[in-house]
Structure 1
Amino acid sequence: MKYIVQKFGGTSLNTAELREQVAAKIIHAVKEGYHPVVVVSAMGRGGESYSTDSLLSLAYEVSREIPGRESDLLMSCGEVISGVVLAATIRGKGFPAVFLTGSQAGIITDDNFNDARIRRVDPQIILEHSRLGKIVVVAGFQGVTEKGEITTLGRGGSDTTAAALGVALEAVCVDIYTDVEGIMTADPGIVNNARLLETITYNEICQLAHEGVKVIHPRSVEIAMQKNIPLRVRSTSSDAPGTLVTNDSQVYKGAIDITRDRIVTGITQKTGITQLKINMPETNASAWQVRIFKGLALAGISVDFINASPEAVVFTVKDEMAQKAVEILENLGMQPVKRPGCVKVAAIGAGMTGVPGVMAGIVDALTRENVAVLQSADSYTTIWVLVQQEDMVKAISALHQQFLD
């Protein structure tokens, strides 16, 4: 049996008209000879009637202190509503369909409520229904512990469900349907000529997702990558093929030298960042550095973009954690210099590995636009630069023009 997993986000299921579009895509897969397993998120976003936030707000009216176990029970309801309604829509078109909760679908997790990790998938019930010719609709974002407690999978949980089922069923592919055409070379709201990427590697999309692209959750990519299950990011409202996420050999198939084919794949950004700088004393700088990072870790503050030297330590934190970080450092006897309103811009591409001159190109492009680089760092597939918020648009546009126009 040829399985295909199709995941639909909440904005794709929010109205009867949209659910008709979704049902048409599912039925088309059946007519193509596939056995679709459909993963759904809760309908809508924000304060809309059946969204997860709306369900939580009911409980928050009574108390903000909701135990993790109870909040997971409540949050899991949104996907149940969405799945039951979609299964009814499919049946209304003359195709047999059945809805399963995450528990019924065999999604077994640990007991970390609100952010559980999938331990294993037992797809037996899915397989039984599929053999009877039914389209199986599964609630995303949720699972069950070995002891039968309902759990939720945290941000991007429905993507994670889809990828895990794709691996368990050895699916032909996993289609992630969203309200965009696919993965773009940059945010089209910033770069007018940003292009749709036809293909991208698992590693590249993971890095893009970690650095700000919200189309797909990196955990789902990491799961699919374990068995080389192709992912496709597609639009619910069109028949465009979208972006294929697969391994390096498929993305660069037929290229003689991939470094000439595509050095940089995409430009992305993270906003809401504060830079902190602490000048080190002339003696025993290492001991001071230990005190800095231990103190922040004990306070639960995550640090990023770390540059440490005997002269100074520079790093970033989220804006909302900046004042707390400053207070901790001052209590440790340090005088941090705070620079709020920063943006972390990343140029990402598997093709840059081992290629000389990429950083030179970045600095050249930013210098032409008078964008000051506050910090920089690099890995095999990514170069990051920290810039001021007011320079963000210029920086992203300049890097896109340098490498992707």
Structure 2
Amino acid sequence: MRIIVQKFGGTSVATPGARELVIKHALNRKNEGYQIVVVVSAMGRMGDPYATDTLLSLLSGRKVEAREKDLLISCGEIISAAVIASLFQDKGYRAKAFTGFQAGIITDENFGNAKILDVKPDNIIKALEEGIIPVVAGFQGVTGERDITTLGRGGSDTTAVALGAALKAECVEIFTDVEGIMTADPKIVSNAKMLDEVNYREVTEMAYNGAKVIHPRAVELAMHYNIPLRIRSTFSDAQGTLIRLVPERVVTGIAHATHIAQLKIKVPSNDKELESRIFEKLAKKGISIDMINIFPDVKIFTLAEDAVSTAAEVLKDLGVSYEITKNLAKVTVVGGGMTGIPGVMLSIIEALKKENIDILQTSDSHTTISCLIKEEDVKKAVLALHEKFEL
């Protein structure tokens, strides 16, 4: 069987008109001779009746166990799957809705951010063999004890890729409300270009550094199994961006993230035990840190602004002297081919200096160079870097 997995996000299933386009895109592939498996997210966003955030608001102000919270928010995708399956049926096609459990998505017990351990797609294969279109509720799975779990934000992308790997699909198509992966956020850079093809590693870095087109975990999974991914718009016939093993560019794009804080901690250079306790306590509180610079007497890193109060409590309990700066942003130059190429950092400094933008901190990897700046400068920075690297 030639199989394609298609995932449709919340905006793609939010309205009757959008849902008709979902059916159109799926049937286009079916008419090309593919067997199709459709994965869906919950309908719409906060305020829409069955959106994940709307379901979460039902628990507002109450302490609820993570298991019950997952059970509640898994309902949004199940509703979408049933509705989309019924639309196929209404047009004369055999279709069947599946929960994550019924689709064979097996996870660990980390409710709210579960990791897929295995996929047993027997029910999906049986449906395909019988000429039935499977419509799978994304974002969810089941533990060995049959408890329903959710996969965290962007989890439907991961569902689609995991199924694609298990079914040996030719491609996984991720449908969203943008036409593909751009060289920068088009809301900031009006002349940002869509990338026809891009390497897995570069897309992963763009996603981790603020681009929200696809979840990085899904890209990493696709890279591991060498499954081509295609990012497309539900509202267009454009073929979008193909993600696969292709030569990497020196600079592929500019990503950015906002609502960041910088934390500077003063720790005596001879107190290694305290240094370890700080990072241990922050980790136990679930605080993710980034852009880490370690000096003998000062430890500097960034974190999300909404984690600042928790981090401050940890540091006060430890009696540590610290300084917090809020309202910051991170701009990141992404390019898998920049390793060993001189002058990339110089170009970044020149571009930001020209716009009188202060660089508060930097970090880099083989494929990225990130600069911490004031949030008020983020638009100028993205525009300047996009122009400097002639993207």
Aligned partners of 1:174 and 1:232 also within 8 Å: yes
Corresponding residue number in structure 2 for 1:274: 261
Q: Which has the larger displacement, 128-137 or 29-38?
A: 128-137
How far apart in 2 are the matches of 1:206 and 1:315?
Answer: 21
Distance 2:323 2:44 in 1: 42
Any residues of structure 2 matched to 1:142-291 within 5 Å, and which? 142-247=140-245, 251-252=246-247, 262-279=249-266, 281=268, 284=270, 286=272, 289-291=275-277
Distance 2:349 2:93 in 1: 57
Distance 1:349 1:150 in 2: 39
Q: 1:325 is matched with which residue: 291, 302, 311?
A: 311
Residue 108 (structure 1) shift:
1.3
- Partners of 1:392 and 1:57 in 2: how far apart? 31
Kindly indicate whether the alpha-carbon contact (under 8 Å) linking 1:263 and 1:403 is maintained by their aligned counterparts in 2.
no
**Distance between the aligned counterparts of 2:329 and 2:192, measured in 1?**
19
The 5-angstrom pairing of residues 274-353 of structure 1 reads: 274-279=261-266, 281=268, 284=270, 286=272, 289-353=275-339
Deviation readout 1:87-146 (Å, 9 max, x if unpaired): 111122222211111111111112222221111111111111111111111111111122
Output aligned runs, 1:109-120, within 5 Å: 109-120=107-118
Q: Does 2:1 match 1:13?
A: no
- Deviation digits for residues 162-220 of structure 1, max 9, x if unmatched? 00000001101000000001111111111111111111111111111111111111111
Give 2:201's aligned amino acid.
N
Match for residue 391 of structure 1 among 377, 380, 385: 377
SS in structure 2 at match of 1:37: strand
Q: Distance in 1 between matches of 2:140 and 2:175?
A: 19
The separation in 2 between residues aligned to 1:94 and 1:183, in whole angstroms, is 35
The count of aligned residue pairs is: 391
Aligned CA-pair RMSD = 1.8
Q: Give the 5 Å matches for 1:73-152.
A: 73-152=71-150
The within-5 A match list for 1:24-43 is 24-43=24-43
Aligned residue type for 2:67: R
Q: Which has the larger displacement, 30-39 or 120-129?
A: 120-129
Change (3 A) 1:29 1:326: same
| CA distance in structure 1 between the aligned counterparts of 2:285 and 2:106, rounded to whole angstroms | 32
Using a 3 Å threshold, how does the CA distance of structure 1 residues 119 and 196 change in structure 2: closer, same or farther? same
Residue aligned with 1:352, SS: coil
Aligned twin of 2:349: 363
Give the distance between the partners of 2:113 and 2:333, measured in 1 at CA: 29
Secondary structure of 1:104's match?
Answer: helix
Deviation per residue, 1:48-99 (Å, 9 max, x gap):
11112222333x26x6222222222222211111111111111222222111
2:49 aligned with 1:49, yes or no?
yes
Question: For residues 148 and 284 of structure 1, what CA distance do their matches in structure 2 show?
Answer: 50
Structure 2 residue runs without a partner (length 5+): none
1:3 aligns with 2:3: yes
Unaligned runs of 5+ in 1: 253-257
In 2, the alpha carbon distance for the partners of 1:295 and 1:226 equals 32
Give TM-score, length-normalised by structure 1.
0.92
- Asked if the contact 1:264/1:404 (under 8 Å) is kept, the reply is no
Which whole-Å CA distance do the structure 2 matches of 1:52 and 1:210 have between them?
22
**In structure 2, what is the Cα distance between the partners aligned to 1:141 and 1:378?**
32
Q: Is the 8 A contact 1:296 1:328 kept in 2?
A: yes
Q: What is residue 22 of structure 1 aligned with on the other side?
A: 22
Distance 1:102 1:331, change over 3 A: closer
Q: Is the 8 A contact 1:40 1:139 kept in 2?
A: yes
Residue 310 of structure 1: CA displacement? 2.2
- Aligned-pair identity (%): 53
8 Å contact kept, 1:4–1:166: yes
Judged with a 3 Å threshold, the aligned counterparts in structure 2 of structure 1 residues 331 and 114 are, in CA distance, closer, same or farther, namely: closer
Q: For 1:69, give the aligned amino acid.
A: R
State how far apart, in whole Å, the 2-side matches of 1:328 and 1:72 are: 28
Q: Distance in 1 between matches of 2:317 and 2:140?
A: 42
Which amino acid counterpart does residue 191 of structure 1 have in structure 2? V
**In 1, Cα distance between the equivalents of 2:151 and 2:281?**
30
Match of 1:255 in 2: none
Decide whether aligned partners of structure 1 residues 19 and 298 sit closer, same or farther in structure 2, where only a CA change above 3 A counts.
closer
Q: 1:119 to 1:296 in 2, by over 3 A?
A: closer
**Partner SS, residue 101 of structure 2:** coil
